[in-house]
Amino acid sequence: MSSDYPLTLVFRVLAGVAAAAIWTELVGCARRLAPPHLQGRAIAVTLAGIPLALSLGIPLGTFLGGLIGWRPTFALVTLAALVLMGWIAVAVPDAPGQRPGNGQPVLKALRLPGVAAVLLVTAAYVPAHTILYTYITPFLDARGLGDSREGVLLVFGIASMAAVFVTGALVDRRLRALTITATVLFMTASAVLITSAGSSLAVYGATALWGLGWGGVATLLQTAVTDAGGDRGQALFVTVCNSSIAGGGAIGGVLLGNFGPASFPWTGLALLTVALAVVITARAHAFPTGRTPSPSAPTGG
């Protein structure tokens, strides 16, 4: 309903704060509702909405905005949120919270073995994705494939959802292997984009690899950080992840203005190399070879 741009930005910030808080609570709730051996799968199911929203929600919102206007589109979002709140109140079971006075400083979770390593991987992996995803239009335009944007996003969405299902089925037993595989797939996609020139087939193939590498990564990293740091680790993850999304958008803008869209996959490849090195070396606590979920992971904050 706002007709004032600064006021609109204020509520945009509030929406971002709310999204981060909900993201944190969703994963914690999913873990509490599931038995220990299915906690990773519960997180995968819960987070399936993220790649679905990114791949379908944005094009759908754009379509509705053009069809009925952006104000009615936001009204529909509000209505959907109200329906969702009612559904949660009726259908989602409650879980015990934390007793007053039992909270611990969130930043102390950085001292727990494995937490810092997972956050470092997040700080490298998420910007690698965000840079390319945010500026996919100028990237495709530079390759002469501007008319293929919807198709590219569709392939990305389908591949991401496939990755979500595979990750959900295997995360509780193959966390380390899946994380390495996802990173390598995304690195391969970046390498193909570097060498693909204007080949639409190569771009579509790279997009499929990119989606396979990205779709399950939120589940993998959040499972790893919660295994290592409990709810406090999860809170730090959401903070780092959202900061990395913002940072990736800013870095992408700088790259676009100074080096052009061809620099995106190069930057992504460099960031993913760092992420892969951390995953490979952090095998003791962050990404262990044999994952043993524990219902008594450190909590608090």
Instruction: Please report the sign of the dihedral spanned by the C-alpha atoms of residue 164, residue 169, residue 174, residue 177.
Output: negative
- Alpha-carbon distance of 240 to 298, in angstroms, equals 19
Q: Which residue has the tokens 């995968």?
A: 44
Helix (H, G, I), strand (E, B) or coil at 66: helix
Query: Are residues 70 and 63 in contact, defined by beta-carbon separation less than 8 angstroms?
Result: no
Write the single-letter amino acid at 284: A
Average pLDDT over residues 202-212: 94
Separation of alpha carbons 237 and 118, rounded Å: 8
Exposed e or buried b per residue across 201-233, where buried means at least 16 C-beta atoms within 10 angstroms of its C-beta: eebbbbbbbbbbbbbbbbbbbbbbbbbbbbbbb
Q: In the chain, what are the helix, strand and coil shares in percent, each to the nearest 5?
A: 80, 0, 20
Locate tokens 């944005």: which residue?
58
Beta carbons of 184 and 163 less than 8 angstroms apart: no
Q: What is the mean pLDDT of residues 24-30?
A: 77
Say which residue the tokens 């590498």 belong to: 213
More confident residue, 199 or 109: 199
pLDDT recorded at residue 184: 97
**Token code pair at residue 25:** 């609570």
Residue 264, pLDDT score: 95
- Percent over 90 (pLDDT), the chain: 39
Give residue-wise pLDDT tens across range 61-115.
Answer: 878 888 999 899 999 999 999 999 999 999 888 766 666 655 556 666 677 788 8
| Residues in the chain, total | 301
Query: What is the identity of the amino acid at 263?
Result: S
pTM over 0.85? The answer is: no
Mean predicted lDDT score pLDDT of the chain: 84
281/274 Cα distance (integer angstroms):
11
- Do the beta carbons of residue 234 and residue 299 sit within 8 Å? no
Which of residues 111 and 121 earns the better pLDDT score? Answer: 121
Hey, is 199 helix, strand or coil?
coil
pLDDT(55) > 70: no
